[in-house]
């Protein structure tokens, strides 16, 4: 009996060590790391090939410098120069969810031209909000895990530079990088689980900001990895849902976290365009009646990039001991209640063959030009119509509508 107990303990210790090794492998090659390792149908740790995992952010070139600064060169730069680019950070706030503290706690920057080169300059939140109140198309990007201050600019500009050039008659775009405290925490599993716990609060903070935007301004939300969980949480809360004790209400007296104690402007755009890249959240969370089930109520169109070989997606279940859950970014959402015309507005591309064993943002962006087209489609007056966008999908990428219907 004693020998059996010793063998059992030894096996458990080995299993834990292998799990940590797998998470470390996903992080190891990131310099700087882009995002957290996170889901497959229970792959073995031995399936991870460290040599094929790279989450590094490549040095930016051409239009943007190493710090995300833009260099005004070429036609693309001349066109994009008219856009407004902002960074809004909640790093000083942490996970505080009190509306009376938000305005003073947000740290904002604006990308401005200076001698042919764009530089990030500090801006007050109230000044940024005054600009965002203009009825211009808006794109908000939310990064993933292990993105430090300064690197958040680079992540955001990686997505921005994928936007197609605008025509001379198109409206300027307002592009916002939403930055949250995702700096690395010692210990891969501890880091991942801690950040997973933070995403509802970050979603609340994002929702607080989005509710103050003009409802007539087209707005797109882009969430990468953990940023997808933030976006989904934000939509669910704005639609009147709750996540634990968190909720967003126009006017609520009380002192509990997540309950508003001062009145805020409630101008939620009723229809968002939403893009989720390698979504690090449970696949069934936005299903009808699920954890974040109200999120689809505010979605006009949804675009998903999934990858069954992404190590962060394959090992997502390791973040939730005792649960056999799958990441949404593995094969798409489960139980998504979108029927008829609404269901036709969901585009899910399988990037397994094109991206493979990588969780790197740059790899997804390079392999899926449709993302930029999706974001530009609603923002530009003379963007391509629905048929042109659908025709641009590569034949090797599959829309997962059949999978969604089968799983409902």
In this predicted structure, the answer to whether residue 16 has a pLDDT above a threshold of 90 is no
Higher pLDDT, 183 or 31: 183
pLDDT class of 149 with cuts at 50, 70, 90: very high
Distances (CA, A) of 260 to 234, 249, 254, 273, 306: 15, 6, 7, 26, 36
pTM listed for this prediction: 0.77
Q: Round to whole Å and give the CA distance between 171 and 333.
A: 33
What is the number of domains present in the chain?
1
Q: Round to whole Å and give the CA distance between 290 and 276.
A: 18
Q: Which among 342, 222, 232, 224 has a CA at the least distance from the CA of 282? A: 232
Q: Which among 252, 330, 249, 236 has a CA at the least distance from the CA of 286? A: 236
pLDDT score, position 272 = 93
The neighbour count for residue 235, using CB atoms within 10 Å, is 27
352-375 pLDDT tens trace: 999 999 999 999 999 999 999 999
- Percent of the chain scored above 90 by pLDDT? 48
322-338 pLDDT tens trace: 677 899 999 899 877 55
Q: Which among 281, 290, 4, 320 has a CA at the least distance from the CA of 144? A: 281
Cβ-Cβ contacts under 8 Å for 64 (sequence gap 6 or more): 70, 71, 157, 161
What does the pLDDT average to over 184-197?
86
Q: Which among 272, 241, 275, 271 has a CA at the least distance from the CA of 258? A: 241
87-146 pLDDT tens trace: 999 999 999 999 999 999 999 999 998 877 889 999 999 999 999 999 999 999 999 999
Q: Which domain holds residue 229?
A: 2-407
In this predicted structure, the answer to whether residue 78 has a pLDDT above a threshold of 50 is no
pLDDT score, position 7 = 60
pLDDT class of 380 with cuts at 50, 70, 90: low
What does the pLDDT average to over 171-198?
90
Q: Round to whole Å and give the CA distance between 106 and 88.
A: 7
């Amino acid at each position: 009996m004693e020998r059996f107990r010793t063998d059992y303990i030894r096996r458990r210790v080995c299993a834990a060590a292998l799990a940590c090794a797998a998470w470390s492998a996903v992080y190891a090659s990131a310099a700087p790391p882009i995002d957290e390792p996170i889901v497959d149908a229970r792959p073995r740790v031995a399936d991870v090939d460290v040599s094929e995992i790279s989450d590094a952010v490549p040095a930016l070139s051409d239009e943007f410098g190493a710090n995300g600064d833009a260099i005004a060169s070429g036609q693309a730069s001349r066109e994009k120069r008219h856009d407004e680019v902002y960074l809004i950070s909640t790093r000083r706030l942490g996970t505080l969810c009190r509306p009376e503290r938000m305005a003073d706690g947000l740290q904002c920057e604006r990308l401005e031209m200076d001698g042919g080169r764009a530089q990030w300059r500090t801006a007050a939140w109230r000044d940024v909000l005054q600009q965002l109140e203009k009825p211009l198309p808006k794109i908000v990007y939310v990064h993933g895990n292990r993105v430090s201050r300064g690197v958040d600019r680079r992540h955001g500009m990686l997505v921005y530079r994928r936007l197609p050039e605008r025509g001379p008659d198109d409206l300027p775009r307002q592009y916002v990088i939403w930055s949250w405290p995702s700096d690395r925490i010692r210990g891969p599993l501890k880091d991942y689980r801690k950040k997973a716990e933070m995403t509802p609060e970050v979603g609340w903070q994002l929702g607080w900001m989005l509710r103050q935007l003009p409802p007539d301004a087209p707005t797109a939300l882009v969430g990468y990895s953990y940023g997808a969980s933030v976006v989904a949480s934000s939509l669910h809360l704005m639609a009147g849902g709750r996540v634990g004790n968190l909720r967003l209400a126009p006017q609520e007296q009380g002192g509990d976290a997540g309950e508003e104690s001062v009145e805020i402007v409630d101008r939620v755009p009723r229809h968002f365009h939403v893009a989720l890249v390698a979504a690090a959240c449970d696949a069934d969370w936005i299903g009808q009646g699920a954890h974040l089930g109200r999120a689809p109520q505010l979605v006009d169109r949804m675009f998903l990039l999934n990858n069954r070989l992404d190590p962060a997606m394959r090992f997502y279940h390791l973040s939730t001991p005792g649960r056999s859950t799958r990441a949404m970014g593995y094969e798409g959402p489960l139980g998504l209640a979108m029927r008829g015309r609404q269901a036709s507005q969901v585009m899910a591309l399988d990037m397994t063959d094109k991206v493979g064993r990588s969780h790197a943002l740059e790899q997804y962006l390079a392999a899926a030009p449709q993302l930029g087209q999706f974001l530009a489609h609603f923002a530009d007056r003379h963007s391509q119509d629905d048929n042109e966008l659908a025709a641009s999908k590569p034949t090797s990428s599959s829309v997962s509508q059949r999978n969604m219907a089968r799983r409902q």
